[in-house]
Amino acid sequence: MLRERCKVVHLTSVHPPFDSRVFYKECRTLAEAGYEVVLVASHDQDEMVEGVRIRAVPKSRGRVERITRTVKQVYRAALAEDAKVYHFHDPELIPVGFLLKQRGKKIVYDVHEDVPKDVLSKYYLPRPFRRSIAMLAAAVETLGATIFDAVVTAIPAIARRFPPRKTVVIQNFPMIDELFDAEAYPYVERPPHVAYVGGIAEIRGAREMVRAMSFLPTSLDAQLVMAGSFSPPELEKQLGHVPGWERTQYIGWLTRNEVAHLLGRVRGGLVLFHPEANNVEAQPTKLFEYMSAGIPVVASDFPLWREIVDGAGCGLLVNPLSPQAIADAVRWLLEHPGEAEAMGRRGRDAVLSRYNWGLEKTKMLQLYDDLLAPTRRRNRI
CATH topology classification for 187-353: Rossmann fold (3.40.50)
CATH topology classification for 3-173+357-372: Rossmann fold (3.40.50)
SS3 category, 239: helix
Contacts of 280 (CB under 8 A, 6+ apart): 302, 303, 304
Cβ atoms 269, 298 nearer than 8 A: yes
Residuewise pLDDT in 10s, the chain (381 residues)? 456 669 999 999 999 999 999 999 999 999 999 999 999 999 999 999 999 999 999 998 888 899 899 999 999 999 999 999 999 999 999 999 999 999 999 999 999 998 888 888 887 888 888 899 889 989 999 999 999 999 999 999 999 999 999 999 999 999 988 888 888 999 999 999 999 999 999 999 999 999 999 999 999 999 999 999 999 999 999 999 999 999 999 999 999 899 999 999 999 999 999 999 889 989 999 999 999 999 999 999 999 999 999 999 999 999 999 999 999 999 999 999 999 999 999 999 999 999 999 989 999 999 999 998 854 444 444
Domain spans of the chain, in order of start: 3-173+357-372, 187-353
Find, among 226, 209, 239, the residue nearest to 299 by Cα: 209
- pLDDT for position 63: 85
Give me the sign of the Cα torsion angle 243, 125, 162, 68: negative
How do beta strands 106-111 and 150-153 pair? Answer: parallel
Identical fold at 3-173+357-372 and 187-353?
Answer: yes
Cβ atoms 256, 179 nearer than 8 A: yes
Model pTM score: 0.88
- pLDDT for position 121: 82
